[in-house]
Structures are given as C-alpha cells and as structure tokens.
Structure 1
Amino acid sequence: MGGGRLLSSFWGRSLGVLRAGCRVGQAQRPRLTSWAVCSNSQLIWTLQSKPWVFDEYRTMWFKSCRMTFLSLNRMKSYWQLWTRLYSTSQTTVDSNEVKTFLAMAHKWWDEEGMFAPLHSMNDLRVPFIRDNLLKTVANHHPGKPLSGMKILDVGCGGGLLTEPLGRLGASVFGIDPVDENIKTAQHHKAFDPVLDKRIEYRVCSLEEIVEETEETFDAVIASEVVEHVADLETFIQCCRQVLKPTGSLFITTINKTQLSYALGIVFAEQIAGIVPKGTHTWEKFVSPEKLESILESNGLSVQTVAGMLYNPFSGYWHWNENTSLNYAAHAVKSMVPDHSGPAEVVFKGETEEPQAEVSTIPGVHGELKK
C-alpha cells in the first residue's frame, strides 16, 4: 500500500514536469512556427544573430529531462527499499527481538549484569558440547580437544559461548542479526591473538548463509536462541542443511509450561529483574516433546535431553532430571544415503561406547535413543 502511494506520487511529479515543459513550449510556439516556415538561410541567420534563443530552449529541455530522470531514480530507490523490506519478512529473525537485544548489546561482558546467568551457564553447556563432540573422534589433543572441528554458533550475541569453544581448539563461526552484538564480540576477541585467528563473526541470519555453508560444520550451537526465532521449523531445517552428515546440533532453551511462565517471565523479568522485561515471549517457548518432533521430522536424531535449573541466589546452574524449566538437547544429523561409508563407521562407533562415557558432566540425566 505504502509503496503504491510512493510510486503514484513520483509518477505524478514526473508527468507534472513533462506537462510544464509542454506548456512552456506551447507559449513560445509562434516563434518556432515562424522558424519552421522560414528558409534555411533565415533559420541560420536567426540562430547566428540571436544565439540566446537556442540556448534558452536547450536549457529548458535539459532541465526537463534532468528532473524526469531524477524522479525515475528516486522511484527505483524506493522500489528497491520496498522489495528489500518484503524479502526480509520471510526470515526466522524477529525484528522485535532484534530491537530488544540491540538495546543490551554493550552489556554482554558484564559478568555481574543482566547476562550473568548466561556467563554462569557456560559451566554446563561448554562441557555438554565438548563431551558429546569428543565421542566422534578417536584421539584428541588434551589442551585443545576440539581442534580440527568447525562449529557454527547461531545467535552468538557478544561471543559468550563462542570464545570458550575457540579456546578448546575449535574453529568457530559466530553469526547474529544484531550489528552491535557482533561489534561487541569482535572487540572482545581482539584482546586474545589466539582467539582472533580461530573465531570469525558475521552480521547475518542463519538462512542467509545456508547455501555458502551447506554441510560445512561438525556442530551447530543454538543456545538460548530458538525461543526468539520467528519460524522454528525453518530454523531447524537450516541447521540441518549446514551440518555435515552425523554432525551435532546443540540446543538450550526454555520449556513451555506454567512454571516457566511464572518463574521465567513473572519472577525473573517483572519481580527479580534477573533479565530485562520483554526479553522472552512465553508463546515462543517450546516443549522438549515438540522440539524432538520437529528435529526428528527434519532428519535429526535426538540423543540426549537434560533438565537445567538456575539458582538466582547462588548464581549457578545445575543439571536436573526435571525439564519443566530449562533444558539442553543434543541431536545428530542422519547419514545421507548417497555418501560413502567411512563417516557411517565413525557414527556407529559412537553408539557402541558404554553409556558411562557419554558425558563426564556430573548429574546429567537423559535418555539416549539408539
């Protein structure tokens, strides 16, 4: 609607300019007619003796053309803007979520501030990711256990999880749709020359890099992200596309229960102020059952679901059998039929390891699905 009004307005201006030029031309038409009936010698004499007449009409004609082209260029720029706005509406990124996190972008690395729970969550999620990935490799460097692995951190924010994974030796690609988040992350990693080489950041959404990074990553991390996306089904599909066969997808999120509404929104946001008001939308929370259904239908086999519990008084996270609040999930991409066998052998070897070696995290409870 708005684009149509812009186009109508510019067409009206353009036609107005052309009509104005025509009216001026009609007012001066007697002189032009006299030229037309004159002989060539008379026309030449007129132009030689009164050159300003020709200059006047030439100037008027150029001005008319210039205004017409300016109007057309403006119409083109507005049309491109309207097209871009329409195309970005078909994305998993929620513009309201972008605005929310834009206002908090400069506070990511304040360990005592609003992101303190995410700093503390690293005590659980980093070992959870590390231990499950190590099941896929026979040998690893003790100091850099994830060396040689490529990891995509979706919705990386200021790099709170990206940097610890880089310190474990992985090559990590962090993406976020909020420009200020990426600026904060880049600024912070620049203080460590080692991380500066291992970590790359980009301002973009997941679906923007699907084609260029298809089947590129050993793992995709979506920690505290899926409860903020506009289209969860599309998001999971994109995660699968960028994963290598038998690659791992790690998700931490909030369950959709009455308890999560009471504690995660009413208490955490409105009473205690642990996180800013408006950070979460309960309707976007997803239950483990629904998430598992979406993952399985998109070729991702769920391996582990474990409950997580945050103590606001101590500031620490704990593993818990109950998933009614926060939980972590690990899923593995199924083997693509037309790929060769060696990767399949590695995957089978993973499932044959004793269950006691699945994770070294104390207190992790999850039913492994074979």
Structure 2
Amino acid sequence: MTDLINVDPAELEKFSNLAHHWWDMDSEFKPLHMINPLRLAWIDEHASLQGKDVLDVGCGGGILADSMARKGANVMGVDLAAKSLRVAQLHALETGTPNIQYREVPVEELAVERPASFDVVTCMEMLEHVPDPASVVRACATLVKPGGWVFFSTINRNIKSYGLAIVAAEYVLNMLPKGTHEFGKFIRPSEMAAFCRQAGLAVTHFKGMQHNPLTGRYWLNEDCSVNYMLATRRPLL
C-alpha cells in the first residue's frame, strides 16, 4: 500500500464486519441484490459489456462484478475490505464465474499502475463512504481508456434523501444497519457533475433509482432526488 489510500477506517470496519452476509439475499445486502439487475442492464445498454475489460471500484463482495463477468466482460474488482474480497473470491470459485479477479488495492494506486487500461469502469454505492470522492473520480477517469465509459452511483444530499435513505431505510424499515450512511457524505448531482468535469469526463446521462417499500419494487426513472446513477465518457484523444 502507498500513501494514496483514500479510506475511512470506520467505514472499512463497518463493511468488513458484514462481509459474511454479502451473498445472503435476506441480509442487509438485499437492496443491492434487488437493484443489481437494474444497474447491470443500464450499464450494459450504454457500454455493451460483452468482451470488454471492466474495472469495478469498491466491489465489496462482488455482486455487480460477478454479474458483469457473467455478461461476458473480463472483470477486475478492487476494494480495501479484505474480508469482503475473500467472500467475493470464494463466491466466484464456488459458482464458476468466468473471467473475474479481485485485488486489494486503492483505486488511486491502481491508476498510477495501470492508466488507460479499461474499457469500462464502475463505481457504485461507494463514493458516499470515502473521505475524498473527487479523488476516486479522478482515479476512475485515469483508469478508463479514451472513448471508454465510467459509471457512478451515489445518494443525493437533501431533506428527502435524509428522510428516505437514513431515517426510513435505517431506523424505520430496518432495510440497512443503523449508521450505514452519513448525511454529510451524500453528494448532489451538480457536485458529481463538477467532479467528473474536473477529471476530464463528459457526463452523458443521469438516472434516478426508486423504491416502493410496500411492494418491494425497484425501478429507474428521471427522478434523481435520492438514489441516482450517472454515465460518463472519457473523450477520445
């Protein structure tokens, strides 16, 4: 490891303690399993994953990385939570997931090691958990090839997102462990767009993600007031 590590030790410990639950569909990670088909389809719609070299930043237990590999991509997942990575590796071995590997390495360090190496970079549900999200965005922009795609997802910062993503999800509905999110780390779409522009990425699409707690249904639309994704591209040289 280098001095480029951009991580909150408390966040790392939080997800390490939950590592054994990553592939339990009825655990704290159920929402990630439920939204994964939506985000996978959205990414594939834009970037056509088949045969592409893909990096998943903040991969955790490998939910998205594994599904992208099964779409035909050659995937590397990176994270700093060693326990989560071991769970991801074990799942890939047990289920025979092709063309996937995992590394414990800071994304900023990997950007120095392998600039312009990937056709697609994904960084989902991670930026609201690090001290310096702009640093992660810059690293992702460095890692993608010219003309390649970079996808992010995070949570908007406003009264509505506080009520739904923290109060409702963590304290009323118990969908997530208490303390999963810190409101001050949520990121407005305008801030995300600025991070991307400063990193040399062109923002092409925003997409909101919605949830009905009564029916358990998740869907995508244009409402980015709480959870949202954005697609960006690194311009051709």
Question: Residues 80 and 106 of structure 2 are in contact (CA less than 8 Å); yes or no, is this contact kept in structure 1?
Answer: yes
Tell me the TM-score normalised to structure 1 length: 0.62
Of 141, 146, 159, 1:258 maps to: 159
Matched residues in 2 for 1:266 and 1:173: separation? 34
Tell me by how many angstroms 1:320 deviates: 2.3
Task: State whether residues 117 and 315 of structure 1, in contact with CA within 8 Å, keep that contact through their aligned partners in structure 2.
Answer: no
Identity of aligned residues (%): 37
How far did residue 212 of structure 1 move?
Answer: 2.0
Contact 2:206 2:222 (C-alpha < 8 Å) held by counterparts:
no
Distance across 2 between alignment mates of 1:247 and 1:93? 26
Q: Taking CA–CA contacts closer than 8 Å with sequence separation of 6 or more, which of the two structures ends up with the larger relative contact order?
A: 2
Q: 2:219 matched to which residue of 1?
A: 318
For each residue in 1:288-318, what CA deviation from the matched residue of structure 2 results, as whole angstroms up to 9, or x when unmatched?
A: 1110111112110000001111222332311
The equivalent of 1:98 in structure 2 is 12
1:328 corresponds to 2:229: yes
- The counterpart of 2:205, out of the listed 299, 304, 308, is 304
Q: Does 1:161 align with 2:75?
A: no
Written as runs of structure 1 = structure 2, the 5 A alignment for 1:1-370 is: 88=3, 90-134=4-48, 146-193=49-96, 195=97, 197-336=98-237
What is the deviation of 1:98? 0.1
Q: Does the CA-based 8 Å contact 1:174-1:202 persist in structure 2?
A: yes
Q: Which structure dedicates a bigger proportion of its chain to strand?
A: 2
**TM superposition shift of 1:216:** 0.3
Question: Which of the pair has more CA radius of gyration?
Answer: 1
TM-score by length of 2: 0.96
- Unaligned 5+ segments in structure 1 are 1-83, 135-145, 337-370
**1:123 to partner: Cα distance:** 2.2
Aligned length: 237
SS at match of 2:27: coil
**Alpha-carbon shift at residue 112 of structure 1 (Å):** 1.3
Whether the 8 Å contact between 1:306 and 1:329 is mirrored in structure 2 is yes
Give the superposition deviation at 1:117. Answer: 0.5
Q: Does structure 2 retain, via aligned residues, the 8 Å contact 1:300–1:334?
A: yes
Q: List gaps (5 residues or longer) in structure 2.
A: none
